[in-house]
Amino acid sequence: MKSNWFFPNLWRLLSLLAVQGLILSDISYNTDGYVSILVYPLFILLLPILLPVPAAVLAGFVAGLLVDTFTGTLGLHASAGAFSAYARAIILDRFSPQGGYTNKEPIASPAYFGWRWFLTVAGVFFAVHLLWYFSMAYFTPAYFFRKILPQAALSWVSTLPVVVVLMRLFYPRN
């Protein structure tokens, strides 16, 4: 793994936090929280592929904690960020190319793997993130079919187009 991964990821985190906190949080408030467009998990997905899982989990926790400070959710995003970072390793392993990952493709980006692969991985990743997020928000299985699943599905459908637009505009290149 290259040693210059820290600052580009810090810049990505700060940019996504600004978009999340200043623009997209208003959409969640205007829909009474029923639809939440969450783009900060894109930071977690775009961490270096070969980054050790504990470092990714810590980065996901910190990213979520920073979002929690903007939204006042007291650990909800931190929990979802840490869980998603852990699940990211499993998802990337499941969708790894034949022969595994190398240093030639440092991040999970369409620039390295193509749009079909990226949309599949991002779709699964954001589904896992949103299901965990809403499960922790309600913290009871009694609401799974009535609130958690519909909110996660609507948020997933709303989040993925925004992720695609962001990736088309700013996706990392070599």
Tens-place pLDDT, residues 44-95: 999 999 899 999 999 999 999 999 988 888 899 999 999 999 999 999 999 9
pLDDT at 3: 57
pLDDT at 35: 82
Whole-prediction pTM:
0.88
pLDDT at 32: 62
pLDDT at 6: 80
| Number of other residues whose CB lies within 10 A of the CB of residue 115 | 14
d(Cα 12, Cα 143) in Å, to the nearest integer? 34
Residues 6+ apart with CB under 8 A from 144: 135
Q: What would the mean pLDDT of 91-108 be, rounded to a whole number? A: 85
What's the pLDDT band for 31 if we cut at 50, 70, 90?
low
The more confident residue out of 145 and 125 is 125
d(Cα 161, Cα 143) in Å, to the nearest integer? 27
Closest listed residue to residue 38, CA positions, set 129, 101, 117, 118? 129
Domain ranges of the chain: 6-170
Label residues 20-37 b or e (16+ Cβ within 10 Å = b). Answer: bbeebbeebeeeeeebbb
- Report pLDDT digits (tens) over 143-170: 888 888 999 999 999 999 999 999 988 7
Asked if 64 contacts 77 with a C-beta cutoff of 8 angstroms, the reply is yes
Asked whether the predicted pLDDT for residue 30 surpasses 70, the reply is no
What does the block give as tokens for 63? 């990213």
Asked if 75 contacts 68 with a C-beta cutoff of 8 angstroms, the reply is yes
pLDDT cut 90: percent of the chain above it: 51
Asked whether the predicted pLDDT for residue 174 surpasses 50, the reply is no
pLDDT at 102: 80
pLDDT at 172: 55
Q: What would the mean pLDDT of 4-16 be, rounded to a whole number? A: 81
Counting Cα atoms < 13 Å in the Cβ hemisphere of 143 gives 13
* Integer CA distances (angstroms), 3 to 7, 48, 49, 103, in order: 10, 11, 13, 12
